[in-house]
């Protein structure tokens, strides 16, 4: 009861570091993912924390100067202050990348590898080509198909000119 009252005094912001209501078992380990984090997101323009958490002496002195009149800051100092608070500018985070080129290149490469696989398959897996696929056999087969008048209306034999013994143009 008293501990919860004390918690309320500490305030909402410090909840992650305050003592948990654990009946005297101590402070729970604070995980990284429970603390406020920095994100460069268009939909969340002002992140919960500054980008640079541990300021160098130069940056610390600059932050002190920031407490005074801003007109006294040079352009470079203003940019340095921006870079302390933010990682990427909106222009930087929104810019398109050329990653698709590498992706397409990868696609072509893997398709080529597939071709090599098919090559290996032809050499080591396929059996001999049946004799019915020899060019001479196919010619005889063609003559027989035409003799049989296969599909003479709109199909196969319809393409053959029986009068002049040649393919129709």
Partner 1 sequence: MYRFAKAAVNLTGQAARQARHGSTAPPDFHQKYGNGLMVGGLVFCTAVWGYVLTQTGITWNLSPIGKVMPKPWREPEE
**Contacts with partner 1, residue ranges (CB under 8 A):** 91-92, 95, 97-102, 104-109, 111-112, 115-116, 118-119, 122-123, 126, 129, 133, 135-136, 138-144, 146, 156, 159, 167
If the CB atoms of residues 46 and 129 are measured against partner 1, the closer one turns out to be: 129
If the CB atoms of residues 59 and 157 are measured against partner 1, the closer one turns out to be: 157
Instruction: Kindly state the DSSP code that residue 128 receives in the 8-state scheme.
Output: P
If the CB atoms of residues 2 and 91 are measured against partner 1, the closer one turns out to be: 91
Instruction: Kindly state the DSSP code that residue 33 receives in the 8-state scheme.
Output: G
For the bound state, the minimum distance from the C-beta of residue 70 to partner 1, rounded and expressed in Å, comes to 21
Asked whether 48 and 23 are in contact (CB, 8 A), the reply is no
For the bound state, the minimum distance from the C-beta of residue 37 to partner 1, rounded and expressed in Å, comes to 24
Instruction: Tell me the C-alpha distance between 113 and 116, whole Å.
Output: 5
If the CB atoms of residues 5 and 165 are measured against partner 1, the closer one turns out to be: 165
Beta bridge partners of 166: 161
For the bound state, the minimum distance from the C-beta of residue 32 to partner 1, rounded and expressed in Å, comes to 28
Q: C-alpha angle with apex 91: 66 to 45, nearest 5 degrees? A: 60
For the bound state, the minimum distance from the C-beta of residue 28 to partner 1, rounded and expressed in Å, comes to 42
**Which pair of structure tokens corresponds to residue 45?**
């323009």
Instruction: Tell me the C-alpha distance between 125 and 163, whole Å.
Output: 46
């Amino acid at each position: 009861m008293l501990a919860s009252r004390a918690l309320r005094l500490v305030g909402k912001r410090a909840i992650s570091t305050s003592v948990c209501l654990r009946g005297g078992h101590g402070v729970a380990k604070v995980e990284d993912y429970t603390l406020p984090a920095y994100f460069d997101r268009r939909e969340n323009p002002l992140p919960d924390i500054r980008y640079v958490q541990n300021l160098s002496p130069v940056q610390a002195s600059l932050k002190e100067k920031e407490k005074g009149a801003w007109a006294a800051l040079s352009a470079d100092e203003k940019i340095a202050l921006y870079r302390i608070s933010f990682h990427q500018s909106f222009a930087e985070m929104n810019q398109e990348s050329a990653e698709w080129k590498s992706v397409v290149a990868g696609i072509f490469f893997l398709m080529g590898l597939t071709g090599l696989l098919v090559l290996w398959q032809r050499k080591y897996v396929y059996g001999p080509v049946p004799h019915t696929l020899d060019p001479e056999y196919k010619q005889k087969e063609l003559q027989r198909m035409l003799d049989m008048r296969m599909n003479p209306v709109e199909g196969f034999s319809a393409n053959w000119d029986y009068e002049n013994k040649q393919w129709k143009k």
